[in-house]
Amino acid sequence: MSAVEIYVCAKGQALKEGKVTYSQSIYDKKDAQDDAEARVKRNAKIHRIAYYKINDEGDFKMLYSYTNKALNAPPKVEASAPKKRKRKKPLKKPFWKRWLGLS
């Protein structure tokens, strides 16, 4: 009889440092995939889940690995171009100052 070792880790955490649980109800990759999606729906902070199948002799084999794409996506920031300052037109001298030559 074999069991499945499940490593669940948060963002920035090594896989071996994550929470370890065991399951005997996961038999194949499809079961592991369904379980991973259900776990991420329950807890959106999960970054990575890895499933290892362990036999009676203690040997293990990678069954499935899931990475939460929503945590990998960079935050959406709209890039805006810096605003150019409008230069004011120099004020024209009134007619009488131009006519009299005043500054």
What average pLDDT is seen over the chain? 86
- pTM, two decimals, is 0.66
For Cα atoms 6, 64, 39, give the angle at the middle one, nearest 5 degrees.
55
Residue-wise pLDDT for 51-84, tens only, equals 999 988 888 899 999 999 887 666 666 667 778 8
Strands (E), 11-57: 19-23, 46-54
Kindly tell me if the per-residue pLDDT of 21 is higher than 80: yes
Question: What percent of the chain clears pLDDT 90, i.e. is strictly above it?
Answer: 43
Residue-wise pLDDT for 38-54, tens only, equals 999 999 889 999 999 99
